[in-house]
């Protein structure tokens, strides 16, 4: 009689910067519960494990070995990313061995990585196992990476290209018709095409077509024209990770949720700019003035060290209807009935959380894929207003007013409910987002 085959062993490699670890971990949790017989080794830098929800059983945390981040915490994030990426191929190889040892000798049978960790493909290839990438940035922004060279040859590069073509549409690339040159992420045609990180992302765009599958967490609204991902072997659009892997309980150390309880339905502006983007100081002050002048109650997630940029006396004057916190439990905050608008930088995680809670957005994108997200929310889905100019207090008051009290806001709220419903539906058994997730589960199970 033959012995049973060893279990499947999935190694997942995180990109330990910005909000990249949480989405991969959410995917890992969803896969681990869908395939309880398989082993999942989640590999990242040790400090990124602290905020992750507890897991048990078949999902293990494996730290990359030391020396990754020795550029020091005072070094700029791009320096630290550069050091990390330079060391990554070797560390990925070492981590595969650690994961195997930790799993009682069961070899890795599938590699899943953040798309930014595309170097994991070489390791997968050496082991002759499939490589699956998670692209957790904005769905359509993957097209700008896959088509970087086409965009460059069409428009040229650097600031001359931007100056000459800023308002032109990207309609010669299927899927990008609603986008303009000015909405492109930095590093595609402008904003430093030769930096280490831009080169890294261009190579990502070249490598992704080799992935067995590319997983894209998204809204049902983006599940239509799949031919736009034609260069990819298997684009798997799945639902927002906050819906796929809900976490409980979420700590609310600064009491945001009880504070929201005392406000009427859809009356509060929730303000947050994610974990890496910062408003320029002048705009931060104008935003504060605008919140004050608007009279709208607000909950603002803003780190203590940024508060020195607020206007003198701002906190005292707005104390009765404004609350500043260093960190909000954003998912339950957005689901709270009192929240009527999300003033956001349009990071993709924040955007998915907002739309899947049925909250409209006032979009103030800062960099990377955020302008494309803002454009998509305004132009494609009609669930947000893209604040395209520099923030002024008057401009902000007008924008907030239009959303909270105007007819535009009413229409946006009707549309966001539909976008949300369609997404929730597509995640039910038989729905397309759900079917795609099932395909992914079978793939990591080796079927
Ligand atoms: N977030 C949060 N509380 C805060 C600020 C942010 O929970 O006070 C979370 C938010 O829910 C989201 C993530 O941080 O999941 C930010 O991710 P996103 O992709 O929007 O932005 P990034 O941090 O990558 O710029």
pLDDT at 21: 97
Spacing, Cα 445 to ligand 1 middle (Å): 31
Q: What is the pLDDT of residues 173-223, one digit of tens each?
A: 999 999 999 999 999 999 999 999 999 999 999 999 999 999 999 999 999
Using the Cα atoms of residue 320, residue 322, residue 327 and residue 332 in order, give the sign of their dihedral: positive
pLDDT at 390: 94
Least confident of 166-170, 224-228, 399-403, 427-431: 224-228
Please state the atom number of ligand 1 nearest to the C-alpha of residue 325. 8
Q: Is 23 within 8 Å of 275 (Cβ atoms)?
A: no
User: Residue whose CA is closest, atom 2 of ligand 1?
Assistant: 330
Query: What is the average per-residue pLDDT within 396-405?
Result: 97
Closest among 64, 52, 1, 46 to 27, alpha carbons compared = 52
DSSP assignment letter at 37: T
Please state the atom number of ligand 1 nearest to the C-alpha of residue 22. 15
CA dist., res. 304 & res. 269, Å (int):
19
pLDDT at 71: 45
The CA–CA distances, whole Å, from 394 to 180, 294, 374, 403 equal 26, 9, 20, 14
Residues 6+ apart with CB under 8 A from 316: none
Site to substitute for ligand 1 among 20, 250, 330, 377, most atoms within 8 A of C-beta: 330
Q: Is 168 within 8 Å of 183 (Cβ atoms)?
A: no
User: Residue whose CA is closest, atom 24 of ligand 1?
Assistant: 19
Spacing, Cα 109 to ligand 1 middle (Å): 32
286 pLDDT above the threshold of 60: yes
How would residue 246 be classed by pLDDT, with cut points 50, 70 and 90? confident
Query: What is the average per-residue pLDDT within 365-373?
Result: 97
Q: Is 114 a catalytic residue?
A: yes
Q: What is the pLDDT of residues 131-169, one digit of tens each?
A: 999 999 999 999 999 999 999 999 999 989 999 999 999
Site to substitute for ligand 1 among 21, 275, 346, most atoms within 8 A of C-beta: 275
Query: What is the average per-residue pLDDT within 31-55?
Result: 94
Angle between helices 407-426 and 432-444 (to 10 degrees): 40
155 exposure class (CB count in 10 Å sphere: 0-12, 13-18, 19+): buried
Please state the atom number of ligand 1 nearest to the C-alpha of residue 136. 19
Site to substitute for ligand 1 among 141, 244, 347, most atoms within 8 A of C-beta: 347
- What one-character-per-residue DSSP string does 141-186 give? HHHHHHTHHHHHHHH-SHHHHHHHHTT-B-TTSTT-TT-BGGGSPT
74 pLDDT above the threshold of 80: no
pLDDT at 77: 85
DSSP H or E run through 355:
helix 348-356
CA dist., res. 75 & res. 73, Å (int):
5
What is the SS3 assignment for 255?
Answer: coil
Phi, psi (rounded to 5 degrees) for 214: -120, 125
CA dist., res. 363 & res. 341, Å (int):
10
Q: Which of 9, 70, 79, 114 is catalytic?
A: 114
pLDDT at 5: 84
Q: Is 25 within 8 Å of 14 (Cβ atoms)?
A: yes
pLDDT at 30: 97
Query: What is the average per-residue pLDDT within 16-33?
Result: 96
Phi-psi region of 175 (alpha: psi -120 to 50; beta: other; left: phi over 0): left
Query: Which comes out higher in pLDDT, residue 25 or 250?
Result: 25
Q: Which residue has the tokens 């705009």?
A: 283
Please state the atom number of ligand 1 nearest to the C-alpha of residue 347. 20
Average pLDDT, the chain: 95
Q: Is 336 a catalytic residue?
A: no
Q: Strand 384-386 vs strand 361-363: parallel, antiparallel, or unpaired? A: parallel
250 pLDDT above the threshold of 80: no
Q: Is 123 within 8 Å of 96 (Cβ atoms)?
A: yes
DSSP assignment letter at 378: I
User: Residue whose CA is closest, atom 16 of ligand 1?
Assistant: 274
What residues are in contact with ligand 1 under a 6 Å CB criterion? 18-19, 272, 274-277, 301, 327-328, 330-331, 347-350, 353
Q: Which of 20, 25, 145, 336 is catalytic?
A: 20
Peptide bond connecting 249 to the previous residue in cis, omega within 30 degrees of 0: yes
267 pLDDT above the threshold of 70: yes
What is the SS3 assignment for 270?
Answer: strand
Spacing, Cα 21 to ligand 1 middle (Å): 11
pLDDT at 65: 85
The CA–CA distances, whole Å, from 318 to 10, 267, 321, 359, 401 equal 50, 16, 6, 23, 18
114 pLDDT above the threshold of 60: yes
Total length of the chain: 447
Residues 6+ apart with CB under 8 A from 99: 9, 11, 41, 43, 60, 62, 108
Residues 6+ apart with CB under 8 A from 336: 257, 260, 261
Q: How many CA atoms lie within 13 A of 428 on its CB side?
A: 5
247 pLDDT above the threshold of 80: yes
Please state the atom number of ligand 1 nearest to the C-alpha of residue 329. 7
User: Residue whose CA is closest, atom 5 of ligand 1?
Assistant: 274
How would residue 69 be classed by pLDDT, with cut points 50, 70 and 90? low
Q: Strand 339-344 vs strand 322-325: parallel, antiparallel, or unpaired? A: unpaired
Please state the atom number of ligand 1 nearest to the C-alpha of residue 242. 15
Q: Is 115 within 8 Å of 208 (Cβ atoms)?
A: yes
Spacing, Cα 29 to ligand 1 middle (Å): 19
70 pLDDT above the threshold of 70: no
Residues 6+ apart with CB under 8 A from 56: none
Q: Is 27 within 8 Å of 215 (Cβ atoms)?
A: yes
Closest among 216, 182, 181, 185 to 198, alpha carbons compared = 185
pLDDT at 54: 84
User: Residue whose CA is closest, atom 11 of ligand 1?
Assistant: 330
Spacing, Cα 331 to ligand 1 middle (Å): 9
User: Residue whose CA is closest, atom 25 of ligand 1?
Assistant: 274
Q: Is 47 within 8 Å of 80 (Cβ atoms)?
A: no
């Amino acid at each position: 009689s033959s012995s049973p085959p060893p279990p499947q062993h999935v190694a997942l490699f995180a990109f330990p910067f910005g909000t990249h670890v949480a989405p991969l971990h959410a995917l890992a949790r969803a896969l681990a519960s869908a395939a309880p017989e398989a082993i999942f080794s989640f590999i990242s830098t040790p400090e990124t494990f602290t905020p992750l929800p507890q897991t048990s059983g078949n999902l293990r945390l494996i730290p990359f070995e030391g020396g990754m981040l020795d550029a020091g915490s005072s070094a700029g994030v791009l320096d630290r990313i550069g050091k990390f990426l330079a060391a990554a191929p070797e560390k990925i190889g070492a981590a595969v061995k650690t994961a195997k040892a930790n799993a009682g000798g069961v070899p890795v049978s599938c590699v899943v990585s953040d798309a930014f960790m595309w170097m994991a493909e070489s390791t997968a290839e050496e082991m002759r196992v499939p490589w699956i990438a998670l692209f957790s940035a904005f769905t359509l922004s993957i097209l700008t990476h896959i088509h970087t060279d086409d965009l460059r040859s069409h428009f040229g590069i650097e600031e001359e290209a931007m100056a000459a073509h800023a308002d032109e549409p990207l309609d010669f690339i299927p899927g990008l018709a609603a986008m303009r040159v000015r909405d492109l992420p930095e590093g595609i045609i402008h904003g430093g095409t030769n930096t280490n990180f831009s080169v890294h992302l261009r190579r990502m765009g070249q490598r992704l077509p080799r992935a067995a599958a590319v997983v894209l967490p998204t809204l049902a609204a983006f599940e239509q024209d799949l031919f736009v991902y034609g260069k990819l072997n298997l684009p798997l659009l799945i639902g927002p990770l906050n819906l796929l892997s809900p976490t409980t309980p979420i700590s609310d150390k600064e009491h945001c949720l009880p504070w929201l309880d005392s406000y009427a339905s859809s009356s509060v502006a929730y303000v947050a700019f994610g974990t890496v983007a910062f408003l320029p100081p002048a705009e931060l002050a104008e935003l504060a003035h605008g919140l004050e002048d608007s009279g709208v109650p607000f909950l603002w997630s803003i780190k203590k060290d940024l508060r020195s940029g607020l206007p003198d006396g701002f906190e005292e004057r707005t104390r009765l209807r404004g609350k500043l916190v260093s960190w909000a439990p954003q998912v339950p905050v957005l689901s709270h009935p009192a929240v009527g608008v999300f003033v956001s930088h349009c990071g993709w995680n924040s955007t998915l959380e907002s739309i899947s809670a049925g909250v409209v957005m006032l979009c103030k994108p800062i960099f990377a894929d955020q302008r494309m997200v803002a454009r998509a929310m305004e132009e494609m889905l009609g669930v947000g207003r893209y604040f395209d100019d520099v923030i002024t207090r008057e401009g902000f008051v007008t924008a907030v007013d239009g959303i909270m009290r105007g007819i535009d806001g009413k229409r946006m709220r009707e549309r966001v409910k539909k976008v949300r419903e369609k997404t929730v539906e597509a995640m039910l058994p038989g729905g397309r987002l759900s079917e795609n997730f099932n395909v992914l589960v079978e793939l990591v199970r080796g079927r």
